[in-house]
Structure 1
Amino acid sequence: MELPRIPLRRRGSGRIRRASVAPAILGVLLLGLVGGCSNVSSAPPLREQKSEPAPVQEDTPVQVDMSTLPEATTFGTTPEAPSDSAPQRKTEGVVLHVKQEVPVYDAPEGSAIARLPATQFKSPSWLPIIAERGDWARILLPSRPNGSTGWVRSGTAKVEKAYTPYVVTVDVEQRRVVVRKNDREVGSWTVGVGSPGTRTPKGRTFILASIRETVTDFSPIILPLGTHSETLTTYGGGPGTVAFHGWPDPSVFGTASSDGCVRVPSDALHLLKSLPLGTLVLVR
């Protein structure tokens, strides 16, 4: 069955709009980001070209009290989540859209360990699928600790799948970001990365959300990733989410001087903000 592709979104088109987080929330999230770090992402909508839908099943064979489970968001911690066992492996490009809150399990037919909401930073929840087993999909989670994963029932009306041809690679040592589409390079830039004391965390992550900046002026858009600083618990009161964002002083590009975020030139940010939410990011 061919999955629908997630197209590039042009300004003013598409069903999914970039999230614009309220200034009060952004004030908490971004106050400390002027030092170089923040949280955010932007993503285009699904085309309505699904082939035969998967048979709808009951989401939970056994009733789960989700009120007792930790929330799998950038603000949450999921201590019982299995760790990513292949943190540098590319995926098949399949992403999962969570349309309603669903439970997350430690294994197919296993124990519920978290609840995954339908939005992240007011953007729709799109997460990369790293493995599939029957009607179950293993996804990367945006919660702490870094590399958290979990299993979601994929054959239900609460979720849907799509395909994105993009992969973003961040080479921390070379201080370079490369965007590929169908394995063909479509953009490459020298960037700023985390300083020696606040390194950009390596591993497999993804574009989590998109926030239009309204509080500070160092970047018009901030693209939070599904990973966090491993040395700082917060950026200015926020959850310490690592992000792609711009920077007004080009001298930072090619340096290791941020609090863990990846500072990118304006043309890089322009391309990155057009990529689908859930797009895989490999930090090496």
Structure 2
Amino acid sequence: MLTALGALAAVAAVVAGFALLFSVLDDGGDASPKARTVYVKVPGGQTATGKKAKPGHVSVGAKVPAGEKPSGGQGTEGESEVEAEAGTGSETTAGGPAQLPTLAGRPLRGPAFQIAHVIEGERVDLYTAPNGKDLGYVRDETEFGSPVAFSVVETKPGWLGVTTPLLPNGELAWIARDPSRLQVYWTRYSLHASLAGRSLELRYGNRVVGDFSVTVGGPGTETPPGRYGVTDGVSFDESPYYGCCALALSGHQTAALPAGWIGGNRLAIHGTPGAVGGAESLGCIRATDETMRFLFARVPLGTPVFIDA
């Protein structure tokens, strides 16, 4: 489980150590502002297998002022800088199709998922339904210090149904699609966990780009199936509990936790210095640090996570 108390020191390190890198999503014209994906840099290090890990990046899809010159972005080895046409979701490089963390518009073909990012300095009201009961509001930053990025599950005219850790598993909050408060964009990435198979897939559209062995919840604290969203990417300094880093999810462990447990009930996909492939966690999904760095280099905040029994 991931808790703000347990991650407090890590958040401070994240704020102090992260750098912002920009990759242009060009709209191909002069009339519209250019949207850029903001990447949060993840420190390099050594994996659990002893291999040297290069720094990775998690994209947060924030919008920066038009006309600002982007700094030189870095990709993972074998990946090149890419551009996409805003509004079409097409991606190409000199070598053919490329994998972009976020897209300004919905792709013409294949699975894709909407993400709603709260613009810096704004707040968004949450409702039980379109024009329903007011549930309160969220500002532009999570409890772990990340930009707020909702995974969009359902849409209705003028409204978005989103996952949020403020509600029980399976319940959606509804937010007004207000362009003055939200930037809405798309990702082809999705995460799919099989509890029976003790595996985690990263998909780009219909294509599996990563298939990993993971540890899942043990007897009595099984990982709850459902659809969630990635809310935070948090880096740790060789944590014996979370490894190099963690992707916090919008879901919670609904089973009773051991007496005296202070780790909270938020679900997460996190690293571990130990072996993986078992069913022994308190609900979180454990992966190797090598796997986590692979995910951090690709997965944007707001990515949907599907956990199947």
Instruction: Specify the TM-score bucket, using the shorter chain as the normaliser.
Output: 0.5 to 0.7
2:123 corresponds to 1:101 = yes
- Aligned equivalents of 2:139, 2:190: Cα separation in 1: 24
- Aligned equivalents of 1:138, 1:269: Cα separation in 2: 28
Matching residue of 2:98: none
Q: 1:158 to 1:47 in 2, by over 3 A?
A: closer
Q: 1:161 to 1:194 in 2, by over 3 A?
A: same
Three-state SS of the structure 2 residue aligned to 1:268 is: helix
The percentage of aligned residue pairs carrying the same residue is 25
Tell me which of 264, 280, 283 is aligned to 2:304. Answer: 280
Matching residue of 1:137: 160
Aligned-pair CA distance for 1:282: 0.1
Tell me which of 116, 138, 161 is aligned to 1:116. Answer: 138
Matching residue of 1:13: 21
User: Per-residue CA shift, 1:14-69, capped at 9, x if unaligned?
Assistant: 3453699xxxxxxxxxxxxxxxxxxxx94443476766xxxxxxxxxxxxxxxxxx
Tell me which of 164, 169, 176 is aligned to 2:187. Answer: 164
- Aligned equivalents of 1:145, 1:263: Cα separation in 2: 22
* Preserved CA contact (<8 Å) 1:225 1:243: yes
Aligned-pair CA distance for 1:281: 0.3
Q: Which TM-score applies when normalising by structure 1?
A: 0.68
Query: What letter is aligned with 1:94?
Result: Q
Matching residue of 1:125: 148
Gaps of 5+ in 1: 1-9, 21-40, 52-89
Matching residue of 1:153: 176
Aligned-pair CA distance for 1:214: 3.6
Q: Quote the RMSD (CA, aligned, Å).
A: 2.9
Gaps of 5+ in 2: 1-17, 23-37, 44-56, 65-84, 88-109
Matching residue of 2:252: 228
User: Per-residue CA shift, 1:195-230, capped at 9, x if unaligned?
Assistant: 011111100001110111148344111111111111
Larger gyration radius, structure 1 or structure 2? 2
Matching residue of 1:248: 273
User: Per-residue CA shift, 1:141-196, capped at 9, x if unaligned?
Assistant: 12242122111111330111011110100000110000000110100011100001
- Aligned equivalents of 1:154, 1:247: Cα separation in 2: 38
Q: Which TM-score applies when normalising by structure 2?
A: 0.63
Q: Give 1:82-97 correspondences, 5 Å limit.
A: 92-97=112-117
* Preserved CA contact (<8 Å) 1:205 1:226: yes
Higher relative contact order (CA 8 A, sep 6+): 1
Aligned-pair CA distance for 1:237: 2.6
Once superposed, which parts of structure 1, at least 4 consecutive aligned residues long, lie more than 2 Å away? 14-20, 41-51, 214-218, 232-239
